[in-house]
Amino acid sequence: MSVTQAPPGETQQQETVRGPRPSVGSALRSAELDLRTLGMVGLLIVIWIGFHFMSGGTFLTPRNLWNLSVQFAPVAIMSTGMVLVIVSRNIDLSVGSMLGAVGMAIAVLQAEILPDILGFGHPAIWLIAVGAALVLGGLIGLLQGLIVAYVGVPSFIVTLGGLLVWRGVTWWITAGRTVAPMDSTFQLLGGGSRGSLGEVGSWAVGVLACIGIVAILLYDRRQRIRYGFKLRPTWAMIAIAVVGSAAVLGAVWVMNSYYLPENVAMQVAEQQGIPWPEGGLRIPMGISYPVLIAIGVMLLMSFVANQRRFGRYIYSIGGNPEAAVLSGINTRWTIAKTFMTMGMLVGVAAAVTVARLNAATSGLGTLAELYVIAAAVIGGTSLAGGVGTIPGAVLGALVMQSLQSGMVLMNVDAPLQDIVVGIVLVIAVAVDVYYRKRAAQ
Amino acid sequence: MSDPTPLVDMRNIHVSYGGVHAVEDVSIDLYPGEVLALVGGNGAGKSTLIKTLSGAVVPDSGEIHINGERVEITNPRDAKQYGIETIYQTLALAENLDTPGNMFLGRELTTRFGNLDDSAMEDAARKVMKRLNPKFENFKIPVARLSGGQRQAIAIARAVHFNARILIMDEPTAALGPAETEQVANLIRSLKSEGIGIILISHDIHDVFDLADRISVMLQGRLVGTVNKDDVTMDEVLAMIIIGKMPGEVTQDELEELRG
């Protein structure tokens, strides 16, 4: 088989780029990088630096970034599902209330039901609680999805109803009583002082991620050579590998620069028989479990969205529902499954949130739907359907959480925070509308 | 026709939407290597009739026989299983997906783990397009950014790639310029020579006379009749379309009036 490789620089840009002079845009295009995603990274950096100065240098510290990463996890987890829901031309307004109901249910399960059956502190309790969260979330999502897909009630209405119903259920499970504390193993899912990978584990994950980046680039290149497609320029491949690995290792370094609180470090030292040194013991936290779960969910959902039929069908429905039907796709069942997936992700987020708070209250997850939808939209998901990426939404979640975290550091009142979040959501949609209008011309 | 078994035999098809008869007791057939033109004014029921064959509409009553065997077509997947491919007037493309994504929509190539094999699909798409539109290059961008002719080519490529035995083309040249129209006409001739049966819906009476072997005319949901192209004049077909009279029934005066 003959390999036709375009020499570097000679690409088909002439067709799409007006001027003959190579621009930054065309270079990025030949590297196959998404301009919008890069723009979002730029926005994030601006927000971070802005908050850093406005908060008197407290934003870009390992402590704040570590906490931010833990808080960001539930929104990030749910935003990956919201992308698919919105891509399919639907919306889910009930995720915050669902998180409350599922979280409350598994809190009661592990704190009040399972200890009586299995015994207090039984090692299976956390697993059963997580499994229950997935099943309950999945069932609630499926129920809503079936009503949307087969009864034909618009998702806006079904999930607006769900917003009230599941909030009511949250309260009703314990008549408003707060449930605490959670199973001690389960608590690790929420991060906290012990719910982290530690120094060595974090570096190991970082190195694995770097190997993964290179492996994906090489696999992509091998496939292109096999079929004789145009290759990505070598400079672009090296740049992506270097920048990607640097970002990963940089993030691990930051996570490892935040240390266990002194009292916890002392306990650890005692347990492991390490003598307490003079200046205290600095034990790095490393990547927290919630962040690890969020990254895992992001990878899995990206895979589903891009490499599985299910994901392809969701995008086709968003692009042209009629075409999807005429192609023989079972669009109704696909929509129902999309809502079920959303529900299961809410279950994961509920487990992480309840574990982090070490409690479930009747207000659990209130307004989460706003953050999740905003994350997806800021991340480039179009409310018109058909367009949106999972990594984009996760970046969007990082933007939303950075805004909130920054405002907390600046001592902004809670009501004002809500006002800002609301305005940001509207601006994000306005930007999307503007871009789509421009693209249509 | 020399072949005694028709490729498609649709008998007494009825379709009604909420009491309105869109298609009433229509029977048509199609033989291998034949182009059957289906003509008629707006609302004559042509699109609804072919949708019962492509699986988009389930008829209220009537029978469909493929190669002499009675079949039930209740969804587009059934139709595709019988080798029936449809090129819709709207093209039925997902604007946000790229060319291979559209060509293989609903019939994706997968690796042995069930993952989408995008490279294999792109490769197959390139091979088919080389035959239909050799200059086509933008395989990886959403089809929304392609021209009308290129999008048409994708819709046709989809049918060609899956080895249609029966091809339904609903107004295939409505959105095309003269050169592209000629390209589609050539393609129809070449598919026909391969023994594929084609049902062609068209408004353009010149296209119809250029390409068709037989012409079926519909008016207000009913079949006026089916004629051999060589036995009729354009005026006689126009008379069938407009006043619903067969060539023998129509008077000279009526023909004069149609000529205006």
pLDDT digits (tens, 9 = 90+) for B107-120: 999 999 999 999 99
CB-CB: which of A12, A227, A308 is closest to B122? A227
**Do B43 and B13 have their domain in common?**
yes
Q: Return d(Cα A196, Cα A290) in angstroms, integer.
A: 9
- Interface contact A326-B86, CB threshold 8 A: yes
Q: What is the pLDDT along chain A (441 residues), one digit of tens a residue?
A: 344 444 443 333 333 434 445 566 677 677 777 777 788 889 899 999 999 999 999 999 999 999 999 999 999 999 999 999 999 999 999 999 999 999 999 999 999 999 999 988 899 999 999 999 999 999 999 999 999 999 999 999 999 999 999 999 999 999 999 999 999 999 999 997 788 998 999 999 999 999 999 999 999 999 899 988 888 889 999 999 999 999 999 999 999 999 988 888 888 778 877 788 777 788 899 999 999 999 999 999 999 999 999 999 999 999 999 999 999 999 999 999 999 999 999 999 999 999 999 999 999 999 999 999 999 999 989 999 999 999 999 999 999 999 999 999 999 999 999 899 899 989 988 988 888 788 766
**Do B75 and B150 have their domain in common?**
no
pLDDT value of residue B3: 53
Residues 6+ apart with CB under 8 A from A106: A129, A130, A132, A133, A136, A350, A351, A354, A360
**Helices and strands: H and E segment counts in chain A:** 19, 0
Average pLDDT over residues B137-160: 89
Residues 6+ apart with CB under 8 A from B20: none
Cα distance from A338 to chain B (closest Cα, Å)? Answer: 17
Q: Edge to edge, what strands does the sheet with B197-201 contain? A: B84-87, B166-170, B197-201, B35-39, B214-219, B222-228
> First-to-last CA distance in chain B?
36
pLDDT value of residue A342: 98
User: Please, what's the b/e burial string for A307-325 (b: 16 or more CB within 10 A of its CB; e: otherwise)?
Assistant: bbbebbbbbbbbbbbebbb
Polymer length in residues for chain B: 260
Cα distance from A397 to chain B (closest Cα, Å)? Answer: 24
CB-CB neighbours of A263 under 10 Å: 9
pTM of the entire structure? 0.90
**Do B115 and B183 have their domain in common?**
no
- Quickly state the pLDDT bin for B251 (edges 50, 70, 90): confident
Higher-confidence position of A83 and B255: A83
- Interface contact A306-B90, CB threshold 8 A: no
Which of B60, B32, B57 has the alpha carbon at shortest distance from B46? B57
A117-121, long-range: CB within 8 Å, 24+ apart, which pairs?
Answer: A121/A183, A121/A184
Cα distance from A139 to chain B (closest Cα, Å)? Answer: 25
- Interface contact A312-B96, CB threshold 8 A: no
Q: Is the pLDDT at B88 greater than 70, yes or no?
A: yes
Cα distance from A8 to chain B (closest Cα, Å)? Answer: 18
Q: Return d(Cα B167, Cα B188) in angstroms, integer.
A: 10
| Domain end marker among B163, B180, B210 | B163
- Interface contact B54-A318, CB threshold 8 A: no
CB A35 within 8 A of CB A43: no
Q: Is the pLDDT at B95 greater than 60, yes or no?
A: yes
Residues 6+ apart with CB under 8 A from A140: A94, A98, A101, A102, A162, A166, A343, A346
- Interface contact B107-A328, CB threshold 8 A: yes
Is residue A386 less than 8 Å (CB to CB) from chain B?
yes
**Do B169 and B77 have their domain in common?**
yes
Spelled out in words, what is the top-level CATH class assigned to the domain A33-195+288-440?
mainly alpha
pLDDT value of residue A139: 98
pLDDT value of residue A21: 52
Contacts with B123 from chain A: Cβ below 8 Å: 227, 229
**Do B21 and B111 have their domain in common?**
no
**Do B44 and B23 have their domain in common?**
yes
Average pLDDT over residues B9-30: 93
Q: How many domains does chain B have?
A: 2
DSSP state, residue A288: B
The residues spanned by each domain of chain A are 33-195+288-440, 197-287
| Residue range(s) defining the domain that contains residue B205 | 1-83+165-260
pLDDT value of residue B8: 95
Q: Is B43 left (phi over 0), alpha (psi -120 to 50) or beta?
A: left
Positive or negative: CA dihedral B239, B240, B244, B245: positive
Q: Edge to edge, what strands does the sheet with B8-17 contain? A: B20-30, B8-17, B61-66, B69-71
Average pLDDT over residues B126-146: 88
Token digits of residue A374? 């905003």
**Do B228 and B173 have their domain in common?**
yes
Is the residue at B3 inside a domain? yes
Is residue A387 less than 8 Å (CB to CB) from chain B?
yes
Residue type, A358: N
pLDDT value of residue A194: 83
SS3 A375: helix
**Do B56 and B113 have their domain in common?**
no
CB-CB: which of B90, B94, B116 is closest to A309? B116
pLDDT value of residue A38: 83
Q: What is the greatest pairwise CA distance in chain A?
A: 75
**Do B122 and B176 have their domain in common?**
no
Q: What is the ipTM of this complex?
A: 0.89
Is the residue at B88 inside a domain? no
Residues linked to residue B216 through DSSP beta bridges, in sequence order: B38, B226
**Do B32 and B69 have their domain in common?**
yes
**Do B79 and B169 have their domain in common?**
yes
- Interface contact A316-B97, CB threshold 8 A: yes
pLDDT value of residue A256: 93
**Do B20 and B57 have their domain in common?**
yes
Residue in the block written with tokens 């070490």: A358
Q: Return d(Cα B215, Cα B208) in angstroms, integer.
A: 8
| Domain end marker among B163, B184, B212 | B163
Residue type, A181: P
| Domain end marker among B141, B163, B185 | B163
pLDDT value of residue A14: 37
**Environment class of residue A93 by beta-carbon count within 10 Å: exposed (0-12), middle (13-18) or buried (19+)?**
buried
CB B149 within 8 A of CB B177: yes
User: Which range (A159-163, B2-6, B84-88, B165-169) has the least confidence?
Assistant: B2-6
Q: Return d(Cα A162, Cα A170) in angstroms, integer.
A: 12
